[in-house]
Structure 1
């Protein structure tokens, strides 16, 4: 039995990244030691105490990948979805799939680069991926499940891809057919459905809830317990990037040293106004030019423009969806659905403050839900038949 020095372990520790000795895993792999033959000790001792079952390094159970448009994150997961190790430096599909003739080879090489040693050490482990890897621009198209969808009741139909490293199973997304309230426009989700499983796992879902997943393309999801009833995409993040980096609004702006709270909330209030039913209120496209006119009249400093534009876009988005799904923007009473925001702390805070301007209190979820969601996808789909979801 081999002893591997690490910091104390708890249910949220990422073992490989918390090591006091950064090269511990390299030493293990260099000498051909299997991870299941290792025990974890928290300190050296001339007479170490006997280890117990709780000290053992958990045996890996799943290799899971969140393979998106611009990046890929790989997880080595142990029992109950415990994150043993995380690797975040994978290439996204846009960096790999430009040439259809070499697409398969490029994806296979990236899988080997990112996870090859894990697979070599434990070739029996199932491989699971979610995200844009399953799109028509990814490795193989995994299709979509229609709404309504009970995402925690049964596992999705996974698409198998034969690789030199074994079979990679790709999770499908969700598709919404055009409805009367969407002006005949369909919508799709790919990757966020796995996040939703992570958010919903381990807790009772309220009868009616809204989950907001801010990002480049923000997703608003309406649920009844674990059943996805509706969702809509808002291109808020991408529009912000285009405005700041490729429009007149951002040309004379400079990044702030620190977030400008006042400028952000000023933008939120203007953005909320664009969704008002009051006659004479400017729409979003008109209001956006105020970032330029306020700067020209010295009413907005150059280092406040970016926060102002951020607030304007988020305020308009939140007000619009609140009116549509919550049914009110009044401060007199709380909304009926439970609202949860899942994003990195900085972005989640911005959306939370926009909701507060409408008198609505919301919940936040940790931004590490994808690994949990991948685990539950594997269990529900039968890849880990002996595990419990």
Structure 2
């Protein structure tokens, strides 16, 4: 079963959390917020070593983990917890470029997702994010960290290292990828497994704050044969290129000519509580792009991507959803499936082949 946030059901029980932060003030504030939101904080810890001990003793459903702590920091604590008692972990990260780099390392080590700490008047800004924090903690608490969503393939394996197909050509499709909770590592594997000779135009909408999307684009660029960058207003991309929607802006496919797409960024109100929203990008692509379209809805909390997937399918495109077993949080794919907008339901590591199959033109060997 899955809970209302899209994660695995805990049979109606209140999720149990361990809060880790070196600031006593922050530990207290986070604990109060979670308790008020229906999350039972069973222990707190002031550093990574205490965090590991608390997890082994209390066996919580979820851990909120600060990154920067003395002695044993958050990254090392994640590594120890995932080795000794795998537990869903939500990182609490500074809203900085350096914080983004370490946060991605924590996701690589097994953390499910992250939540950015506000700067300035912490109590005022964090209070305004209380609902988001509680929802995120509940979603992460339901994530499957022991199941099939873990990669069976090294993320460093590039497409060029695998057998080259010589019996097919590809249509040069536009591929639109939507993802949220648990998604960054899956997106990296999907984009990293797509061969350059398929000549796709790729747009990624990952729910992520603005300080993180540029670093995320850099990671995708390093992991793939495609030229990947964070989108700017008025950007154009052709085959072999990819854009990541920047945090805080919707990405609209505004024009298509020849083999190139033109995008614009807007600050229109959030949809589904998020900006960028995949629905905005997918629906605009369905209205604008004449050539082949593939929509991909990966792991994530909420319903974003479902209406966009339906628009792509109604326009004659092909839609793939990640399956429940390999999703950290089966929210977004589930909504798209329930809407009848999905052609294929695939494990995360099978999505690249699904994209290729949907765009392949068979030719004589």
Range of TM-score over shorter length = 0.3 to 0.5
Computing the radius of gyration from Cα coordinates, the structure with the larger value is: 1
> Does 1 or 2 have the higher relative contact order (CA < 8 Å, sep 6+)?
2
Q: TM-score with structure 1 length normalisation? A: 0.31
What TM-score does the superposition give when structure 2 sets the normalisation length?
0.33
